[in-house]
Amino acid sequence: GAVVSQHPSRVICKSGTSVKIECRSLDFQATTMFWYRQFPKQSLMLMATSNEGSKATYEQGVEKDKFLINHASLTLSTLTVTSAHPEDSSFYICSANDGTSGETQYFGPGTRLLVL
């Protein structure tokens, strides 16, 4: 149980385009999902908390107009990187709390974004 999927696993795009990343909880409902960014050999940096049916809560320094988050259902949250630039290239990982095990977070497999 507690399986989280992410799509796509890898994406290459041109500067100026937008990229959407999907995070799905496959066997449970997640009222809260989290989006992280991870640079090579570094820790997980929380970008925002995605709440089903309401606006996301962004961490300090994360541009909400740049990283659009939508959590339209209990099993799906999306992160859209708008007007991507090369500095947005990174590994983006989502996680979800299954609601039955307290604050345990289960991670998706991640999406590697390369902006040319």
DSSP state of 52: T
Of residues 14 and 41, the one with the C-beta less far from another protein: 41
**Contact between 62 and another protein (CB under 8 A)?**
no
Q: Kindly provide the residue ranges of all beta strands, DSSP E only, lying in the chain, ordered along the sequence.
A: 4-7, 10-13, 19-25, 32-38, 44-51, 57-58, 67-73, 76-81, 90-97, 105-107, 111-115
Sole window of 13-21, 42-50, 70-78, 80-88 interacting with another protein (rule: CB under 8 A): 42-50
**Contact between 21 and another protein (CB under 8 A)?**
no
Footprint on this chain of another protein (rule: CB under 8 A): 32, 34, 41-44, 46, 49, 57, 93, 97, 102-110
